[in-house]
Amino acid sequence: MDITGGYEESVGLAGGFGQGGGVGSFTAQYGLMADNAVEFEVVTADGQVRVINECNDADLFWAMHGGGGGTFAVLTKYCVQLYPSLPIHTYRLIVNISCSEALRDLLRLYVENQLAWFKALVTGGTDYYPNKASFGVVHPTTMTVASSKGPR
């Protein structure tokens, strides 16, 4: 089974990630992590432990998913929608580039392909540095991936 988890292991799944929206490997297919929240157990400011969901305290439940971690109550349990596992391919490319023109061309191609990749349910993350770029791409094996034409 899979959930719509994120890319960065230093960000907590339920707190900053899940309550702040949450873009991950399956976002294009299943939505944000916050969209997949089913139920929370929280401690409110008055010290009460409450189980909240769409039917039980719907306003607080709505506020807790997407409003930011710890904003409305302290989260103690986070239940999310599960999905059948999909076969996926993951790619990681780290490029050291001393030529700013080459880095610019690489980033331009990456940006130009974003819409096609999103339509093909491809997701990923990117880190940019002054002379280096790191790209991570995840896509289901049943989908076609957009290809770049290379620098012009």
The contacts found for 51-54 with CB under 8 angstroms, 24 or more apart, are: none
Is residue 79 over pLDDT 70? yes
Domain 13-80 has CATH 3.40.50.720: no
Residue 145, pLDDT score: 42
Q: Where are the domains of the chain?
A: 13-80, 88-140
Global confidence as pTM: 0.60
Does residue 96 carry a pLDDT above 70? yes
Please enumerate in sequence order all residues whose Cβ is within 8 A of that of 102, keeping only pairs 6 or more positions apart, or say none.
151
